[in-house]
A and B are shown apart, each in its own frame.
Chain A
Amino acid sequence: MMNAPDDIAISVKDLTVGYEDNVILQNVNFQVRRGEVFVILGVSGSGKSTLLKAMIGLYPPMSGEVWIDGGNLWAAQGKERLSLLRKFGVMYQSGALFGSITVLENVRLPLDEFSNLPDPLKEVAALARLKLVGLGDAADKMPAELSGGMQKRAAIARAMALDPRILFLDEPSAGLDPITSAGIDLLITSLHHFGFTFVIVSHELPSIYSIADRVVMLGSGAKGIIAQGKPAELRDGAADPWVRRFFNRQPDPSHSLETS
């Protein structure tokens, strides 16, 4: 069963994903180390979200494997699969908080379903997670009463409910103002210090420079990884000029409106 060395949290092997005849990513390989902030980036339509869904068990790959903490996610069945799913938490792009219950109840929900802790402790556990993300005083609010940034924080708290060591975050900074976005980055950095491994889908460059240990970049036409490494290294020394342009926010000359 054990397939990955101890310092590897996630291993993606020859992963091919797509919809029917349309292959989006082909033979993708990479590994995420424990305690690392790993960012998957790429332009819109490059397959970032599809890759994420294949990694968290939502979208079955056409072929290939996803190993999480030494377990093959797509080969596991029943209780084995459930125990693999409990090794990670996911924050969805929109937060995906359940709107009909309070923020505290949102965080408590996974504990009520899966934890054997006594009820009074479940409440404290949920409160502690909210406090950790800076939402201690928003526990009794409904999700609709929170701002976009607060909803994302609450979603991170919910993702941490069952104490996973790996957190997947889908576009944590998307749609947020720079100050709120920087606040989310700071939260990720603090949680990183507590030993969490992060896999983050993003294309917010300031955020990537601030938090990422390593990135993989997906190409829109390449159906796979076109670059990987540390963000600053890719910005300054990537072999592919397109990758350098991406990291330096330079427009594609072929798309210029100027005709002269």
Chain B
Amino acid sequence: MTAAAQNELETDVEVRPDGRARVVFRGRLNEQTVVGCWGLLEKELPRTKVETLQVDVSGLGFCDAAGLTLLLYLNMGRMTPQATVSVFGLKADLEKIFRELTLEDHEAFHPQSAIKSDSFVEKMGRKVRQMNKDFQEEMDFLGAVVASLPLSIFHPKRSRWTETRRIVELAGANAVPIVSLMSLLLGFIIAFESARRLAEFGAQLYVANTIMVVMVRDMGPLMTAILLAGRTGSSFAAVLGTMKINEELDALETFGLDPIPFLVVPRILAGVFVTPLLTFYSILMGVIGGVIVMLELGFALPLILHQLASSVHLNDLGAGIAKSAVFGVIVSAVGCWYGLRTQQGPSAVGLSTTRAVVTSLLLIIVADAFFSAISYLLK
């Protein structure tokens, strides 16, 4: 026999070699005393294979929810698997609650069924089917957008220009400060880095050419698109996702309003309009950043401007701007697509936003690589 007295609880644990065990509680069984006697029970009870366990609580003066939980735990046989357990001596009021809560059917809480591991082929098949379904849905979405665009363009009265204007302001005008800072610093970085290398060849004047070519053809459109993906694409996904969860999209549909022309088209139009403008502005700010560095290096402003003007053609600027319009479509469409696909649950909007940003970035880089290859081949 082992006896333990701690605080207000006395616990006797007796385990006989024939498999019969008896636990006696006296005093107060509350959270503090349960924690105190837990170690003793855990140490003594599983020592021998227990076949019958009797828990005598007739000496308990007080038992709270924590105490009741311990009794339930013992009664469920969690500490003495395969043993027949009986708890006796409970006061009438506690007995009622205890019987109400008896978790004899505790296995029902953890159904072991339905956990079946699939074979590799099954997993692959399911994945391919899902990819096929996703692709079909993406094409449906793209088709619906393309079908809705002419209506918006050729029937301007039916378009939601107020909404488009609001989005242009949010995605465009409000992004000007961050684009300014990012592009100016980008101009500084390109100028400083190229100046160091070109100085080795006595060709620092060509820093102007480097900045102009890099900003106009690639960094301007690319960095602006990346910024828009993080700032605007994510916002589109979050707004449409929240609308879906709040059943606002269902409300639109029951009015007979299709969410694509109503919500998606204004965002895509705003994206196509805003991205080239921001890109042009970004190029300008990047070049200004480079010019500031060149002035610091001691070059005269007319010389720098002449060098800048001679380094790119109007075609290059046109290609950069055209590319940015495509990036704008990608960012807006992907943001809206993931927003409309948002599932239920609190993490769903976060998931849609993350997917929108990651997919946008990936598609932007893929599109940029495609444009670079085309441009090289056309030369």
Interface residues of A (CB under 8 A from B): 98-100, 104, 115-118, 120-121, 124-125, 127-128, 131-132, 136-137, 139-140, 142, 144, 163, 194
- Among the listed A116, A121, A127, which residue makes an inter-chain contact with B103, where contact means beta carbons less than 8 Å apart? A127
C-alpha spacing A142/B348, complex, angstroms: 14
Write 14 A-B pairs (CB below 8 A) sorted by A numbering.
A99-B346, A115-B31, A117-B34, A118-B42, A121-B70, A124-B78, A124-B103, A125-B65, A128-B65, A128-B103, A132-B101, A142-B345, A144-B345, A163-B66
Kindly provide the distance from the CB of B40 to the nearest chain A CB, expressed in whole angstroms: 12
C-alpha spacing A201/B97, complex, angstroms: 27
A120 and B344 in contact (CB under 8 A), knowing A131-B101, A163-B65? no
Q: In the complex the two chains form, is B345's CB within 8 Å of A121's CB?
A: no
Q: In the complex the two chains form, is A120's CB within 8 Å of B101's CB?
A: no
C-alpha spacing A98/B345, complex, angstroms: 9
Kindly provide the distance from the CB of B116 to the nearest chain A CB, expressed in whole angstroms: 16
Could you say which of B104-112, B182-190, B220-228, B282-290 contacts chain A? B104-112
C-alpha spacing A115/B34, complex, angstroms: 11
Kindly provide the distance from the CB of A162 to the nearest chain B CB, expressed in whole angstroms: 9
C-alpha spacing A139/B64, complex, angstroms: 23
Cβ of B65: which chain A residues have Cβ within 8 Å of it?
125, 128, 163
Residue of B nearest to A126 (CB): B69
Kindly provide the distance from the CB of A94 to the nearest chain B CB, expressed in whole angstroms: 11
B73 at the interface (CB under 8 A from A): yes
Q: In the complex the two chains form, is B31's CB within 8 Å of A117's CB?
A: yes
Residue of B nearest to A162 (CB): B65
Of A100, A115, A131, A144, most B-chain CB atoms within 10 Å: A131
Indicate with 1 or 0, residue by residue over B64-85, a CB within 8 angstroms of chain A CB atoms: 1110111011001010000000
B257 at the interface (CB under 8 A from A): no
Interface residues of B (CB under 8 A from A): 31-32, 34-35, 38, 42, 64-66, 68-70, 72-73, 76, 78, 97, 100-101, 103, 105-106, 108-111, 344-347
A104 and B109 in contact (CB under 8 A), knowing A98-B346, A124-B76, A132-B100? yes
C-alpha spacing A132/B100, complex, angstroms: 7
Kindly provide the distance from the CB of B82 to the nearest chain A CB, expressed in whole angstroms: 17
Kindly provide the distance from the CB of B364 to the nearest chain A CB, expressed in whole angstroms: 30
Cβ of B72: which chain A residues have Cβ within 8 Å of it?
124, 128
Q: In the complex the two chains form, is B78's CB within 8 Å of A120's CB?
A: yes
Cβ of B347: which chain A residues have Cβ within 8 Å of it?
99-100
Q: In the complex the two chains form, is B110's CB within 8 Å of A140's CB?
A: yes
C-alpha spacing A100/B42, complex, angstroms: 33
C-alpha spacing A104/B106, complex, angstroms: 13
Cβ of A144: which chain B residues have Cβ within 8 Å of it?
344-345
C-alpha spacing A113/B69, complex, angstroms: 17
Cβ of B345: which chain A residues have Cβ within 8 Å of it?
99-100, 142, 144
Q: In the complex the two chains form, is A118's CB within 8 Å of B109's CB?
A: no
A125 and B106 in contact (CB under 8 A), knowing A100-B345, A117-B35, A118-B38? no
Cβ of A140: which chain B residues have Cβ within 8 Å of it?
109-111
Known: A117-B35, A127-B103. 20 other contacts (CB 8 A): A99-B346, A115-B66, A117-B31, A117-B34, A117-B66, A118-B35, A118-B38, A124-B73, A124-B76, A124-B103, A127-B109, A128-B101, A131-B101, A132-B101, A136-B105, A139-B109, A139-B110, A140-B110, A163-B65, A194-B97
Q: In the complex the two chains form, is A163's CB within 8 Å of B64's CB?
A: yes
Complex A-B, nearest 5 residue pairs according to Cβ-Cβ distance, in ascending order: A163-B65, A99-B346, A125-B69, A99-B345, A139-B109
Q: In the complex the two chains form, is A121's CB within 8 Å of B109's CB?
A: no
Residue of B nearest to A136 (CB): B109
Cβ of A117: which chain B residues have Cβ within 8 Å of it?
31, 34-35, 66, 69
C-alpha spacing A123/B125, complex, angstroms: 38
C-alpha spacing A142/B346, complex, angstroms: 12
Q: In the complex the two chains form, is B101's CB within 8 Å of A116's CB?
A: no
C-alpha spacing A182/B100, complex, angstroms: 20
Cβ of B111: which chain A residues have Cβ within 8 Å of it?
140
Cβ of B64: which chain A residues have Cβ within 8 Å of it?
163
- Among the listed B66, B73, B108, which residue makes an inter-chain contact with A120, where contact means beta carbons less than 8 Å apart? B73
Residue of A nearest to B75 (CB): A124
Cβ of B97: which chain A residues have Cβ within 8 Å of it?
194
C-alpha spacing A125/B66, complex, angstroms: 7
Cβ of A194: which chain B residues have Cβ within 8 Å of it?
97
Cβ of B106: which chain A residues have Cβ within 8 Å of it?
127
Residue of B nearest to A116 (CB): B35
Cβ of B42: which chain A residues have Cβ within 8 Å of it?
118
C-alpha spacing A144/B342, complex, angstroms: 14
C-alpha spacing A128/B109, complex, angstroms: 11
Cβ of A121: which chain B residues have Cβ within 8 Å of it?
34, 38, 66, 69-70, 73
C-alpha spacing A98/B65, complex, angstroms: 24
Residue of B nearest to A124 (CB): B73
Of A120, A127, A136, A139, most B-chain CB atoms within 10 Å: A127
C-alpha spacing A7/B32, complex, angstroms: 26
